[in-house]
Structure 1
């Protein structure tokens, strides 16, 4: 074990030396990586500034190109939109007048229907008066039939009471027979209890004899218990000594196992650290190679952006030339804009005239709408009154039919 411990200590020292060398190499690689990262960030910032400048030049060129063209298009489109809006307003006004005429025709037809329904209601009222007279006669007949039924009901009640008295007498007879049966059961139980009392007296005599025998046996058992206690005390002392020695041995074995475990874990940790350091070194090498490739790509991109900047400067000069030409063409187009303003003023006058005509039409339509609402409310009121009257007539007719059937059944005549 001493040789193994010495070998493990030597191995741990060698591992620590390798770790110190690896940490120094790692620190050097980190410094080199930080320098390269600063260089790449500087190249990236230069690249972004060039890209932003190119984008600004392109946006300025597009804006200058499209502003002159969109001005004329927007003005022509606005005038066309206004003309189309006026035409749509006239079409809507014509459509609303046609709808109002159609509504007036429907209202007139509904008023005619309501007049017909009112005449039908008057005829129904006459029929209801006739039905009420018939119902009064039926009520008088019903009162006479009820008097006859009262006499018949009294006779039926007497028969029911007689049946109840007969049922109660039968229940009393059944209860007397049940009481006699319970008395016989109680007598049998008393006889059984007397027999069991005699058996208990015999058992008490036998128990006194057994108690004497138990006293003799208890003295012998006490002697045996005293001997057993002394022997168990000696065995307990021997057991405690053996347990103490075994616990000491277990502690020593556990301490040795813990020491061996600690040394093996330290060796495994050292090996794991070495593997991680080697893996990190390879990762740093791969990262350095990737940084070199990225640096080459940035250089190529920088050359490309310089070429694009030269092209953008050329395009800017061409755009300035086109801008000068556009200013010259704008001066020639201003005369056309003046003509279009005159046309727009005439169209505005026409629009005002159309708006005034539309306002008058809206006033007429509003009056027609008010008349239509008033006629609709009158129609709804008359319709609800007619429905209520019809429902009341139906209920009265149904009640009269029921009463007539009941009267026919009570009298025995066919309904």
Structure 2
């Protein structure tokens, strides 16, 4: 796919509708983590530098097409103004946006009230999208995290105005293209987490694309059980054994090597500092549960990383939330970060607990790219076409 960026469209004097994701955590009326706001700053400042007039369109929470005052985007104004270093004018309703004075239209930055207050947004209603399109001259999508939703402000609007990707969207798409579209090989994927059932599409797509697939966390237990290996009281989806076996067979057919734990760390209780032991993966005691990959497994994973040119990472290798069961995730992540910092590895990570696990390991800052897009990142990795991305395609 090919898409325009902010460099491909003349923005001088243009009103630019910018779809952003500033769905930030709030406590007592104050934004507690402005990371998502910080990530849209380059796009907004770029538009201003090019002479454009940005109107930010965003959602906040799940009001389900109704006005919910507790979910007003007004709460984001102080953080937005602080991060942008300039005044942001809040537009309370769509009707107000349609009747702005010329002075207001030319204001540095406008923020439209929560777009999900309108039922036409999530319904991707053509008439609602047309109303939005009347507000601007150019559409810019900088919300990859919402690109898997075919909503009016993510998909419908993009087909009605000259459209482009913002800097954050551009960085995300380029990172994902480097990871799966045309990766340097060998390509290794690390997939962890609790359940195989939540990542069937992901695993099915990856075994056709990657050279080696490392499976960790509770998912690994299901794959071990599928091979007739006892996993004691471990988290395990025994009813997914046939599916796991099918994935193993598919990997063999496509030439993908699946790397499962050779040794495991087991304990009788899931608690900080719980008494534990390391045993071969084939020898988990009946009264114990597997909570992490063992040192032999980590060595094998690191060997794969050191031979790789590209890494995709989604999910932890063990119960990373508590020590000592974070050891495998921490060690593998640290080595991946080192290789990335040395320019030997292109590493792209994202989805769910992944960001938290890599931050806990002190490795996130040195990965090539960390996606905070959650569901959109996973759907891309599953090989699905995201509506918000497809709508930006210059061919469409």
Considering fraction of residues, name the structure with more strand: 2
Fold conserved between structures, TM > 0.5:
no
Structure possessing the higher radius of gyration over alpha carbons: 1
TM bin, normalised by shorter chain, reads under 0.3
Give TM-score, length-normalised by structure 2.
Answer: 0.11
Q: Which has the higher contact order (CA 8 A, sep 6+)?
A: 1
